[in-house]
Structure 1
């Protein structure tokens, strides 16, 4: 399981293409590129939507590259690729002995790994509703608490999410929190 988790982190890091290689000619893409420049200047949480394969990850990488956080890493997490039982421990980390099968030394979560930089939550529409509550609390309070942990940890991370799902419809169906949608 540890090998699987390490491979997920490394795969996420290698997914980030060099945004400087991005070239656009169409008026629509040039409009998006101007928007990326404006968004990058504001240290906020973003949700990038669009169909599969349109380059949401490239846009997120561009936002990071043009932001004031570009000297720190961008950590890519595919919320749909991590089993529901593991996603909380992956994002928030855990203390030694927090659960059966946990690493004896504990594990730093991806939110902490991205501290100072950007956490890219790809396929956010796949995130379980109960975990959306914990993520919202982390966004609002700028503090996380790992599984089994007693002390909260302050974080400084920009969270950018992407999905190909219709978030408005998911909010109506009660499968995505309205307050995470903006």
Structure 2
């Protein structure tokens, strides 16, 4: 217990590192390794954030470009190719972290960046699939509505439906008669 006139003096303890891996390491080197470990963890966090940012930018490009093409009236294969372009770029980027060294099975040079590339590719592929499915649905809605509108216009204007003719039957019958006539002429 301290009285009013006594000043507390700091107490210093000597500590010794008793870890088997670090027994042979001096204090300064141990501190340096701890700092390097923290820098590596921070770099890993920055890499994850950079990968998320790149994926978001690519997904934004994908959505904006395909939607602007749809608004411009493009349908069919071209918007699907534009939606698939970021997926292809992401696959190419992820494959850069694979190395084939005298074997058929590749080794991964940077597991963290490869994992981010695969995740980004899957995200963009899902987005591309959704955009393409939406385009196909819009196309089918447009086709169905077009036939509905033309049917309503025909009904409004009083245009009658053309009567069914028997043209295919008449054509088939004529072809059979022509073959019989050709065979008859050939025999003579």
TM-score normalised according to structure 2 size: 0.24
Greater Cα radius of gyration, structure 1 or 2: 2
Task: Report the TM-score when normalising by structure 1.
Answer: 0.24
Query: Which has the higher relative contact order, 1 or 2, with Cα contacts under 8 A spaced 6 or more apart?
Result: 1
Structure (1 or 2) with the greater helix fraction: 2
